[in-house]
Amino acid sequence: ATLLKLRFWDGAVLAYDEALRIRVDYRPDISRTNDTNEMYSGSSLSGRRDIAECYHNIARAYEGKKQLDQSLEYFKKAQRIISGSSFDTDADAADLYHDLGNVVLVKDASASNLESTPPSDEDVSLALTCLALAKDLYKRNFGENAVEVACTLCLLGTIYVKYSEFDKAMNSYEEALRIYRCAPLDQSLSIAKTLNLLGLAHLKRNTGALSQIKQSDHKIAKYFELSIRIFEDKKEDSIEEYADALCNMGSAHSLSDETDLAIVCFEDSLAVYKRIFGNEHIKVAVLLEKIGTCLLRIREMDEAFENFEAALSIRRLNNCDNDLGTANIFFGKGIICCERGNFNESLDEYEEAIRIRRAHLGPDDPEVAQVLNNIGSVFARNREYERALLPWNHAMELYKIAGLTEDNTKVICTSGNIEIAKNLVSISQPKSRQSPIRKFENY
């Protein structure tokens, strides 16, 4: 226990492993197996609190070592012993269920940073079950206003967001905030982190393809403003959570078309990420892509292109150049190439963007249709209006399949393009277009 508190992770693993061996040696009905991952078997292993305690602490040590796969396996071993036992309703059981759920989410976050493999759907489901149990057990043992309840509610909220159950997530975060604000000791940093998570849940709900804005983007930004202010008041402006809040604040400004403010937030966030992780981390690439997209909006084409290229270079360095973030980069580069009059190069970029989006989202997703809309625009810029109608009409079909209504901005944009092109097709056009652009799929 002392080694764990001192964060001597290797020593803690060895000490608890030795304790485990000693405890097993006094029980002849528990036999060793050849599988070093399981180590012990036997019917009497079930309900052995001392064995479960060893597994739990070994798991905590492996988590400290950032060996998350091993950590999760030991948490699950402990959970299997405790579940259904005579002591599965006490505070120690609540701690185990909480820690198991937490490590699954840590593993998920690490995967997004390319530092771990993602947890399986089965593990995420187990985490949800364990956290729900932990919340109920903490309430039973410590009361409804215990800080442990608030911590568990925040973890539950994160899983609800992962499943797009935003109302459940926001209710969890709101309840956690209520508990933190009433706690006898200062919980300012926990409040700041929870405000950021609450704002992010609102933000994600508002940015779905089928979403009509359910809440003012300015109101969402207030969550991030409060979070950032607390971090700064507490002099915690060099930690990852502070950078996350700045990044989310930038996204809220971007959603409100406050592009200049978005760029400021993204650049501040980028500076913090670079101090923490260095210049080649995947989070740096994410911020560079966001900044590039904002610069594209205000038609700073050259600077936007540089940011996209830098982001793509980092993704390739991290072997992460085939995901949706990379598709966004190719999409932005396609726009810039089109604006520069490099139409075939533009199609090259859009070809990569649509390939990745189809692979991740399916062939009928609105994000695929958005690329088709821009491909039509490339043809139209070259005065090939009749040819442009083909991808535009296809995009409209995909919007209809996705359930987008006529007042959706994407639908309005593409239908407007179609009407203009039809009018231009009917008018005799002077032969001032460039050479025909290369074929793109069936267009």
Q: In the prediction, which pLDDT does 34 show?
A: 45
Is 28 a residue whose pLDDT tops 80? no
Cα separations (Å) of 60 from 1, 45, 171? Answer: 11, 20, 29
- CA distance linking residue 112 with residue 282, whole number of Å: 9
Q: Which residue type sits at 2? A: T
Integer Cα distance of 286 and 268 in angstroms:
13
Write out pLDDT tens, residues 98-129: 999 999 999 999 988 877 789 999 999 999 99
Q: How far apart are CA 143 and CA 138, in angstroms?
A: 7
Distance CA 148, CA 139 (A): 9
Distance CA 90, CA 287 (A): 44
Residues 25, 35: Cα–Cα separation, whole Å: 17
pTM score:
0.86
Is the separation of the CB atoms in 269 and 248 below 8 Å? Answer: no
pLDDT digits (tens, 9 = 90+) for 153-163: 999 999 999 99
**In Å, how far are 176, 233, 407, 426, 427 from 199, measured between CA atoms?**
14, 19, 26, 50, 51
Find tokens 């810029």 and name the residue. 381
- How confident is residue 42, by pLDDT bands cut at 50, 70 and 90? very low
Provide mean pLDDT across the span 13-31.
77
Between strands 31-32 and 40-41, the pairing is antiparallel
Res. 437 pLDDT band, cuts 50 70 90: confident
**Nearest partner of 323 among 286, 290, 294, 291, judged by Cα:** 286
Q: How remote is the C-alpha of 10 from its chain's centroid?
A: 31
